[in-house]
Chain A
Amino acid sequence: MASYDLIVIGTGPGGYVCAIRAAQLGLKTAVVEKRATHGGTCLNVGCIPSKALLHASELYEEASHSFARMGIGIGIGKPKLDLAAMLKFKDEGVDGNVKGVDFLLKKNKVDSHRGTGRITAPGHVEVTAEDGIVTTLDTKAIVIATGSDVARLRGIDIDEKRIVSSTGALALDKVPGKLLVVGAGVIGLELGSVWRRLGSQVTVVEFFDRIVPGIDLDVAKNFQRILAKQGMVFKLASKVTAIDTSGKILKASVEPAAGGTAETIEADVALIAIGRVPYTDGLGLDAVGVKLDDKRRIVTDAHFATNAPGIYAIGDVIAGPMLAHKAEDEGVAVAEIIAGKAGHVNYDVIPNVVYTYPELASVGRTEEDLKAAGTAYNVGKFPFTANGRAKVNMTTDGFVKVLADAKTDRVLGVHILGPDAGNMIAEAAVAMEFGASSEDIARTCHAHPTLTEAVKEAALAVEKRAIHM
């Protein structure tokens, strides 16, 4: 029987990063994965394929809207789309990434066991391969990194053809004429954007009376306005109660969230994107008595330890934002803790990005958070319409918003709605890790002409001394 210092169950960004870090620190490490490829949700059916399609569809849209203003004429008519080729581009991106993980695990001498892992007792993991063969492994520590799965709507069956989850929406073989997106969260808006750019008419139904719950409300409202201008139709404060699949066209019943008369929305494809739920099926947690909370997330302490000895958990399967980089950081931290070092994750500074156009990136607190906590704060805002680089790139939608403590000027939150916001948020994250004041950002020399100058100006605007406004 093989025996390890550490076994990680699940090789998503949480699990594989944890395993690599543990191996770097000298632990004899193995991973268990039931999927045919490593990389988890993120690399196989999440971040990477969605970003590949977002990139490709953005280029398509750009080519269809004539470049006329810049003096570039494009022959006659619209560009042509070969969806199969576009999906192949995406699959190659996924393939490159998952092979990369294989390579990294091998390079770091991490053993891979293919199959479903079950914890029979602390220190014991049983792996059942697809052909039914069972292997038993011994280990000092176990990290559960089994991630999350699509949340379902009662009474609506996901067939991944006409009623799809994000996974099916990444592989439609035809551009739907009408796409119904249920849920105006990150995933619904990203994939809704992909298909709208490729030609679908997209309607988004959201239960709350706002989009992207959790994001700063003022930012979310502006975001919605921009998406609506692009042609996305929103039905807020509404719920989908049933979808009739009997005809050629889907008929969704949509009611006001508070209840009332239903209306019917027709669609060729419906994307259910109402969130994700922690995934612990088949792990045998009952048997070892690992505690779950009311949302079925594994309960851990500040050091990622569950209540069962030697069993830890990280990533989407525990509390906190369901983000790949959060999972990765927890993976590093738990590996360091198990190796006897001091691992730590600062949950106050975890950036969050929506990869639509414009992108929406934020880190730290929203205005709503600060009001709820009774913290006095100042707001500095700066629009991309007043930024030179945004003008020459013709991407002037959006703005930067900096929230700083009214007493100490410490930066408490930064929200960027705009082009390339995902890269720009890194500056804000570094600043907040240092407990920077808005003045620290304002006095850092920002290169001209870049979009980041808008971050500086927003920081200046906190004390009402922006230059370019």
Chain B
Amino acid sequence: MKEITCRLLVIGAGPGGYVCAVRAGQLGIDTVIVEAGRPGGACLNVGCIPSKALIHAADEYTRAVHLSAGKSRLGITAAKPSLELAKTMAWKDGIVGRLTNGVVALLKKAQVKYVQGRARFLDGKTVEVDTEMGRQVIRAEVIVIATGSTPVELADLPFGGRVISSTEALALKEVPKKLVVVGAGYIGLELGTAFAKLGASVTIVEALSRILPLYDAELVRPVEKRLDTLGVRIITGARVKGLAKADAVAITSTDGKSSTLAADKILVTVGRKPMTDGFGLDAIDLDMDGRAIRVDDKCRTSMRGIYAIGDVTGEPMLAHRASAQGVMVAELVAGEKRAFDRVAIPGVCFTDPEIVSVGLSPEAAKAAGIDVKTGIFPLSANGRAMTLEREDGFVRVVARADNHLVVGIQAVGANLSEMSAAFALALEMGARLEDIAATVHAHPTQSEGFMEAAQRALGAAIHI
């Protein structure tokens, strides 16, 4: 096949890669993108979107169950709902299909050439792709590696059979009766919660002493409480040894005690690792940072003309970080001056309630030697939360004690993910407590909790 030459080649069409390519196309850069699987990457196909679809369906189902059990204070009763998970999955697949087709359309509109197949580096300027029609060589002045990440496998509990990763969990045709989730990070908890709501009996096993170890205990407490109400069993400080019988896992606790847990499915969510295998990275010998490709604040790798973005560059492995890096690299290639100096990359955990975190937690700020003031406002004192029947959770603002510059904002509560943008923007604009306290927030909304948390840090909260 005829060689393709282009200015920019992007490897991988996840939220890092396709966004980079679309932006480059908008800027008039002659761009090619290669994708081995389906456009949209982990995020659209087996990550953010399908998981949030399943979470939404699980929430709706719980509501219906709640209404049928006659527990609703709202005066609504309904007959007992039934669930057909295969249909739920078909619905989810429909959405995923629309979004991935959308990505193809966006690439086309931006005049980006899409090549289907696995790319392999031949050298720093050349890549070969095995396409359906044969071997395709692509030469590019600039190459962006956006190959993403894959689930980490446990040596003692390899994937296969009952042992599944998030990808298989998002394609189950039946709700497992007994589900054991290994690893209490956000992916395990999001999916574990959804399946518990859909009727599975769920046990979560975590090696560390608490769940969601990336978030502080105060933030996680409302989630723990809700898991308890949902009947989810949590075992911390325990390691999984392997399959016991065909239908159970063996675990050992820190004090050496062994036991087994019956399981129809075992979902292993112990993290994701950068995807650096099988595409000839050794041919170009880039500097690494552990398992990730090392990049600077412009996402440049150690080789001129090669950039890396997204999960392949390590933590935080988040779709919006990948996209933001993608836009930046496209603009750099177009000759604009850019650097990745984000003060705020919001992290959202779509558990129940949801956790949002932007910037520094009180501990992180203290560890960084910053003397801070914090203000917490509980949603139990928020009118909107009461009318929505969800008073659990709070908003917390962390600011420098000396000049009140806000350095972090965290919140936990139903539906608070949509507050993440206001938090991020406040940090990016260099807001002080006074700025947030003095911004008029609409009544009655949960966002008033943000304003009141800032007011409380200033000793002037009204509703508490």
Contact = CB atoms under 8 A, between A and B. Distances in A.
A151 interface: no
A308 interface: no
Contacts of B464: 104
A36 B392 CA distance: 29
Tell me which of B15, B384, B415, B444 has the highest count of chain A C-beta atoms within 10 A of its own C-beta: B444
A104 B48 contact: no
Given A84-B75, A445-B345, A75 B80 contact: yes
B61 A72 contact: yes
Contacts of A290: none
Interface string B426-448: 10110100011011111111111
A71 B418 contact: no
A444 B57 contact: no
A422 B447 contact: yes
A195 B443 CA distance: 22
Interface in A93-123: 93, 96-97, 100, 104
B68 A75 contact: yes
A71 B84 contact: yes
Interface in B31-70: 43-44, 48-49, 52-53, 56-57, 60-61, 63-64, 67-68
Instruction: Tell me if A's interface is mostly helix, strand, loop or mixed.
Output: helix
A194 interface: no
Contact of B450 (A21, A79, A97, A426): A426
A427 B422 contact: yes
B384 A71 contact: no
A89 B75 CA distance: 8
B75 A67 contact: no
A346 B434 CA distance: 14
Contacts of B383: 43, 47-48, 51, 97
B429 A467 contact: no
B380 to A, nearest CB: 9
B424 A447 contact: yes
Interface stretch (A159-167, A232-240, A299-307, A320-328): A320-328
A75 B79 contact: yes
Contacts of B426: 430
A74 interface: yes
A329 B440 contact: yes
A383 B88 CA distance: 25
Nearest to B43: A448
A15 interface: no
A391 B98 contact: yes
Contacts of A24: 459-460
A450 interface: yes
Q: How large is the interface on A (under 10, 10 to 19, 20 to 34, 35 or more residues)?
A: 35 or more
Interface in B70-96: 72-92, 95
A96 to B, nearest CB: 6
A444 B83 contact: no
Contact of A392 (B56, B86, B387): B56
Nearest to B110: A467
A43 B443 CA distance: 11
A63 interface: yes
A21 B462 contact: yes
A424 B443 contact: no
Given A328-B462, A445-B320, A452-B421, A393 B56 contact: yes
B417 A392 contact: no
Interface stretch (A2-10, A222-230, A269-277, A433-441): A433-441
Nearest to B61: A72
Contacts of A244: none
Nearest to B49: A388
Interface in A29-81: 42-43, 47-48, 51-52, 54-56, 59-60, 62-63, 67-77, 79-81
Interface string B410-428: 0000010111111011101
A467 B83 contact: no
A60 B381 CA distance: 26
B342 interface: yes
22 contacts: A42-B443, A51-B384, A55-B74, A63-B76, A68-B87, A69-B91, A70-B91, A71-B85, A74-B64, A80-B77, A81-B75, A84-B75, A88-B75, A388-B48, A388-B49, A423-B415, A429-B439, A430-B425, A440-B429, A444-B421, A446-B320, A449-B48
Interface of B: 15, 19, 22-23, 26, 43-44, 48-49, 52-53, 56-57, 60-61, 63-64, 67-68, 72-92, 95, 98-99, 102, 106, 318-321, 323-324, 327, 342, 344-348, 356, 381, 383-384, 386-389, 415, 417-422, 424-426, 428-429, 431, 435-436, 438-448, 450, 459-460, 462-464
Interface of A: 13, 17, 20-21, 24, 42-43, 47-48, 51-52, 54-56, 59-60, 62-63, 67-77, 79-89, 92-93, 96-97, 100, 104, 323-326, 328-329, 332, 344-346, 349-353, 361, 386, 388-389, 391-394, 420, 422-427, 429-431, 433-434, 436, 440-441, 443-453, 455-456, 465, 467-469
Of all A-B residue pairs in the complex, the 6 with the closest CB atoms, nearest first, are A75-B79, A85-B75, A71-B87, A71-B88, A452-B421, A86-B75
Given A79-B79, A86-B76, 12 more contacts: A24-B460, A60-B74, A63-B76, A104-B464, A332-B462, A346-B438, A388-B99, A422-B442, A430-B431, A447-B347, A447-B356, A450-B418
